[in-house]
Amino acid sequence: MLKNIPLFFLGLFLTGCSAVRVTPFQQLIYERKNEQIDVYSNSTSVKRPFKEIALITVDDQGWGKDESKLLNMAIEKAKDIGADAIIVLSQDKQADGYTPVGNMVVAINRRISRITAIVYTGEEDALKKCPFCGEEIKNEAVKCKHCGEWLNKTNGE
């Protein structure tokens, strides 16, 4: 029996473990809509009205996965709960302790990503592109806030 213990730890080391936790802000009744998930670095970069539906926490538990793998795991979980996009809140690396390995002491570092899953609210076409500069503006805009062009020439003359 003791002979199998090293094999268990070797298998665990080779496959690695990660924990993905979802903390819903309300009852999740959303269905998976599409395969495309928008990724934002902060909430001000989201140009559409949205509603936060859950906090997704991905923890590599000291197995050395990089941020991109953790982000991909969060994206897959966001798809599962019906999110349209995610906002990356933080991607931290923290020391979790030390463990003896032979004659050395090795630090165990964990990577933890915290991500908010969101769904877009309101009309799907709440934004349009300015015909002059191509930037996104509100549908009801009369003048482009980016280039200053009047969208209806009769209003600006």
For the chain, helix, strand, coil in percent to 5 are: 20, 40, 40
Picking from 21-25, 106-110, 147-151, which range would have the lowest pLDDT averaged per residue? Answer: 106-110
Whether the pLDDT of residue 68 is over 70: the answer is yes
> Is it the case that residue 157 has pLDDT exceeding 50?
no
Would you list the domain boundaries of the chain?
A: 17-122, 123-157
Give the model confidence (pLDDT) of 70-120 as tens digits.
888 889 999 988 899 999 988 776 666 666 777 777 667 778 888 999 988
3-state secondary structure of 18: coil
Q: What is the CATH number of domain 17-122?
A: 3.30.110.70
Query: Is residue 55 over pLDDT 80?
Result: yes
| pLDDT, the chain, mean | 77
Cβ contacts of 59 within 8 Å, gap of 6 or more: 18, 19, 20, 21, 110, 111, 112
pLDDT value for 137? 84
Q: How far apart are CA 42 and CA 86, in angstroms?
A: 9
Q: Which residue blocks in the chain are alpha helix, DSSP H?
A: 4-15, 67-80, 153-156
